[in-house]
Amino acid sequence: MNIHTYEKFWLLASMVLIVGFILTITYGAVGLGIAMVDDSSPTVDPENLDDHPGFADPGVEQVGENEYDVHVIAVQFAYFPAEVEVPANSVVNFYITSEDVIHSYSVVGTNANTMVIPGEIAEITVETDEPGEYGVLCSEYCGAGHHDMEAKLVVVPEDEFELEGDQ
Ligand code: CUA
């Protein structure tokens, strides 16, 4: 059978594209270390967040020499606490949940970003370096006030950092 040269070229080109697409998707799914939201996330009762040791009093808590846990609650249309302050050069573990609908916690200009689902605890770990201020936005449409839903993450110099009194 004689296959025309152009036809061979296009057959080959389409094979290369298909293999390329598969490789791209595989790389995106497993190569970048991106964790997907799934059933394995720890759960919490969104109606009784007051019974949870972390969410009853959300905020920053020191758990190691340079390590902090931060619990955040997302609701229509705000975050509690609205401002999170952590020291530079530390490891910060965020535990975030929602009291009502799906939100997100997206730290603008960084790759720290997670969907926040009622009943589940989203976990992200951030390593802070230089002091600075970051905006936090909700990037999941959650209702009429979605565009007003924002918070702040402030990284302060280590010697200026103080935990708030009651934590
Ligand atoms: Cu919360 Cu959009």
Read off the tokens for 55. Answer: 């969410």
Read off the tokens for 122. Answer: 């989203």
Omega before 77 within 30 of 0, i.e. cis: yes
What's residue 96's pLDDT? 96
Atom 1 in ligand 1: residue holding the nearest Cα: 103
Distance between Cα 53 and ligand 1 center (Å): 25
Distance between Cα 105 and ligand 1 center (Å): 9
* Farthest-apart Cα atoms in the chain, separation: 83
Tens-binned pLDDT, residue by residue, of the chain (167 aa): 788 899 999 999 999 999 999 999 988 888 777 666 666 678 888 888 888 989 999 999 999 999 999 999 999 999 999 999 999 999 999 999 999 999 999 999 898 999 999 999 999 999 999 999 999 999 999 999 999 999 999 999 999 898 865 44
CA atoms of 84 and 45, how far apart (whole Å): 23
Distance between Cα 99 and ligand 1 center (Å): 12
In angstroms, the Cα distances linking 37 to 120, 123, 126, 137 are 9, 10, 17, 18
In short, whether 138's Cβ falls inside 6 Å of ligand 1 is yes
CA atoms of 53 and 6, how far apart (whole Å): 67
Ligand 1 atom with minimal separation from the 102 CA:
1
C-beta atoms surrounding 167 within 10 Å: 9
What's residue 80's pLDDT? 94
